[in-house]
Chains A and B, each alone.
Chain A
Amino acid sequence: MIEATQTALTPSEVTKIMSTEALAEYRQKLQAQYDPNAPMIYVCCGTGCQAAGSVDVVEKFREILVGSAWDGKVVPMIKPTGCHGFCSRGPLVIIEPQDIFYQRVTVNDVQEIVEKTVLNNELIKRLQYKSAGAKESITKASEIPYYAKQTRLVLKNIGRVNPTEIGDSIIRNGYAALAKALTQMTPQQVIDEVSSSKLRGRGGAGFPTGLKWESCAKQEGLRYVICNADEGDPGAFMDRSLLEGDPHSVLEGMAICAYAVGSHRGYMYVRAEYPLAVKTLTTAIRQAEALGLLGKNIMGTGFDFEVTISTGAGAFICGESSALMASLEGKVGRPRPKYIRSVEKGFRDSPSNLNNVETYANIPSIIANGGNWYKSYGTERSSGTKVFALTGNVFNIGLVEVPMGISLMEIVFGIGGGVPNKRALKGVQTGGPSGGCIPIPHKIPDINVGYGKLAEVGSIMGSGGMIVMDEDTCMVEVARYFVNFLVEESCGQCTPCREGLTRMKEILDRITQGDGREGDIELLEEIGKFTNNFSLCGLGTSAANPVLSTIRYFREEYEAHIRDKKCPAGVCKKLFHYEIDPDICTGCGLCKSKCPVKAISGEKKKVHVIDQSLCMKCMECYKNCKFRSVKIM
């Protein structure tokens, strides 16, 4: 994250906060300096927007507004923020107080934004958001369906606070819940409040958080509080977004947990692939310690809690609790059998409470507003909200926070905006590499997303990855992709996982290459069930899910690959070819001009033909034909 240069709210000006009253006074002082009607320019600087050039956009705004050339009366504050979640439209700029939303802003747009919008309140049409198929563009961020249909509890600060400025968090009640817990509640009351919220672990397994804390608090001796920020599921990025956009909520949640379970040492285990998150967290911890909100004698209450960051080194298995703790000790991350749970004997053989980033980030609001408030969102068995990373073949890619129990179709169509390129929805894959594919809308019309419901249809909640797949997705290939991922990431110590995955990969490779044999499906099912039943850790016991769930719902696709040697979706290159339907082709010539190997011939306004000996099946003609005359055969 970029260093802030403009705001006056730097912690260096204040001495340590020595009481909870002093925190409240400091908050009031900051709030008094903050005018909600003052112009403010928020620029998203999450990984997605940074990749699209948002850092340069911030610099350009500063250059124009902070530099001498600026003669406007009120200098708007420029706020680089964490990920707003609407990554496919980045870089995003929101202008307050009008709540004007601009998307895909480049350095070249900045001058115009300042001249027209900031100075003269004039809108720039081309930067505004338009829903798919809509004629009118939408002005306000809060009116965009993608945002309007979400319930943002855990993501509430993201996009509004500068994560490198602790003052921003404090203005929005940061550390107030910790102050409340430390002075008005006993550790047991904190645990009871969390239990009553019915919050379940957001990392995937869905274990009740209050129960876990309760068992950890019962242990004797030194205890550890550990945050699992090893977000390894490909396609999931809610933890990254929280760490980069609102690190103080996570740290506050950990501190509250430490108070509840009686710990003074915390560890944050972050993926090495998230350098920006590590940097933001480091700054956040430094600032919180400087203010006395973390470290020794927090807010003068006598409670100590220190947090250390530890980085991973690229191993998916380290997201598993016992592997993570081994890795924290500087060892290889191999899971151990769980006769003894890590709340009894974990890191350094001491009782350790491990929760996921999103779980901790939920804690401050639960303590501030009460468990009953949290429980009022979601369903009986799955309370609260969950952040999903919506990706794949869907219009609006990004993070969505919704109450548990929401319909999956509503997520895909209502919030996600549906499937692009006039393709049909084939299914949604949830739960990362160990999850399953849910065949909405054809075989299952819809489901309400919750821990129990997802398990019923053979998938899992996982960390909240949600990959939308359209009709051009080959389910056998998807299963092969996930199994291949797991083969590489399996630690290899137990036979069912190591051998089961390798054999399944061999079979799936063969099927997608056109060498599938009768009996392969049954063999995959047998190996899959064995792997899931007899592996040591969570990775192995869910490793066959992608295979078993695709066989369960898309068996006919496997059969087409094996018996007919056809890939109906047109993905497995050896198992299909393209043909132009002469009844539909208008002879527009677009495919001919797009073909990189000149395999298409035909005169203007006459039917075109593909030369099969030249075609490399790159999909260009198929994707570009406006009349869908290119057929997969």
Chain B
Amino acid sequence: MSGTACVCQEIECREIEIDYNQLDKIIRDDYGGNKETMIMMMQAIQRVYRFLPEAALKYLSQVIDVPLTKIYEVATFYASFSLEPKGKHILTICTGTACHLRGSGGMVRHIAERMGIEPGKTTQDLKLTLETVNCVGACAVAPVAVMDEKYYPKATIATLNDFMDRLDAE
């Protein structure tokens, strides 16, 4: 089984292939179709697509028998879920207290300006998503940037610029 879903949110129309066998594996095999594990199922789906495609959520709703509105309520309540496609690379800048005191706010503004996106948003070419997080618990090495799940301690605007330069070269 496979199908397509259209995601027209702020970016140009893109078709996303949904692999329902894979969805079944996540929902039924990994989590036993248990409604209570819905948040973790949604996290697993997001790991596959880098966001929550509408078609996948509709399918989830049918399989675990939870109204789609409830699923959207959860998707919009928790900060880690995204209903828009995320970029190939994800740059997360910690804005926890210790990082804030050491200037992480300026790093967020710098990248936002350089890439022309607001925090939480993705570049037009789907290359980069800029995110902020409230604390990754590595306060001793503040400010911390996390690029594609790798932690960069004592990050500076120069560290981030290197990363952006590499992205531009891709």
Contact = CB atoms under 8 A, between A and B. Distances in A.
B141 A52 contact: yes
A473 interface: yes
A329 interface: yes
B80 A465 contact: no
A393 B101 contact: yes
A273 B139 contact: no
Contacts of B141: 48, 51-52, 87-88, 90
Contact of A333 (B37, B77, B97, B136): B77
Given A50-B151, A51-B152, A315-B79, A235 B97 contact: yes
A398 B96 contact: no
Interface of B: 35-40, 42-43, 66, 70, 73-74, 77-81, 95-98, 100-101, 133-142, 144, 149, 151-153
Contacts of A328: 36
B53 to A, nearest CB: 17
A397 B139 contact: yes
Contacts of B40: 310-311
Interface in A432-468: 433, 465, 467
A231 B138 CA distance: 13
A513 B101 CA distance: 18
Contacts of A469: 101
B140 A272 contact: no
3 closest A-B pairs by beta carbon, nearest first, are A87-B140, A234-B96, A313-B78
Given A313-B81, A330-B35, A330-B37, A391 B97 contact: yes
A481 interface: yes
A409 interface: no
A473 B74 CA distance: 37
A275 B133 CA distance: 14
A403 B160 CA distance: 41
Given A51-B144, A234-B135, A237-B138, A392 B35 contact: no
A429 B101 CA distance: 12
A275 B140 CA distance: 18
Contacts of B101: 392-393, 467, 469, 473
Given A314-B80, A315-B79, A398 B137 contact: no
B133 A52 contact: no
Given A48-B153, A234-B135, 15 more contacts: A47-B136, A47-B138, A51-B153, A87-B138, A232-B135, A234-B97, A235-B98, A311-B40, A313-B79, A332-B73, A333-B77, A391-B142, A397-B98, A469-B101, A482-B97
Interface residues on A, range: 35 or more
Contacts of A389: 139
B33 to A, nearest CB: 12
B74 A391 contact: no
Nearest to A470: B101
7 contacts: A51-B153, A233-B135, A237-B137, A273-B133, A313-B74, A392-B97, A433-B97
A330 B96 contact: no
A234 B81 contact: no
B137 A47 contact: yes
Interface in A88-104: 88, 90
Contact of B139 (A275, A333, A391, A489): A391
B43 A311 contact: yes
A391 B134 contact: no
A550 interface: no
Contacts of B36: 328-330
Contacts of A50: 151
A476 to B, nearest CB: 14
Contacts of A397: 98, 139-140
A235 B139 contact: yes
A242 B73 CA distance: 33
Contacts of A391: 97-98, 139-140, 142
B98 A392 contact: yes
Contacts of A360: none
Contacts, number: 127
Contacts of A52: 141, 153
Contacts of B70: 331
A200 interface: no
B127 to A, nearest CB: 23
Interface in A257-297: 272-275
A97 to B, nearest CB: 28
A169 to B, nearest CB: 22
A491 B39 CA distance: 17
A240 interface: yes
A359 interface: no
A22 B66 CA distance: 47
Contacts of A554: none
A356 interface: no
Nearest to A491: B77
A313 B43 CA distance: 8
A237 B42 CA distance: 26
Contacts of A237: 135, 137-139
A485 interface: yes
A391 B99 CA distance: 10
Interface string A79-92: 00000000110100
B37 A310 contact: yes
Specify which of B73, B78, B152 lies most central, judged by the most chain A CB atoms within 10 Å of its CB.
Answer: B78
Contacts of B140: 48, 87-88, 90, 391, 397-398
A232 B134 contact: yes
A316 interface: yes
Nearest to A317: B77
Interface in A229-264: 231-237, 240
A234 B151 contact: no
A327 interface: yes
Interface string A402-438: 0000000000000000000000000001000100000
A362 to B, nearest CB: 20
A465 to B, nearest CB: 7
Contacts of B134: 232, 234, 316, 485, 489
A315 B78 contact: yes
B138 A235 contact: no
A563 B136 CA distance: 38
Nearest to A396: B140
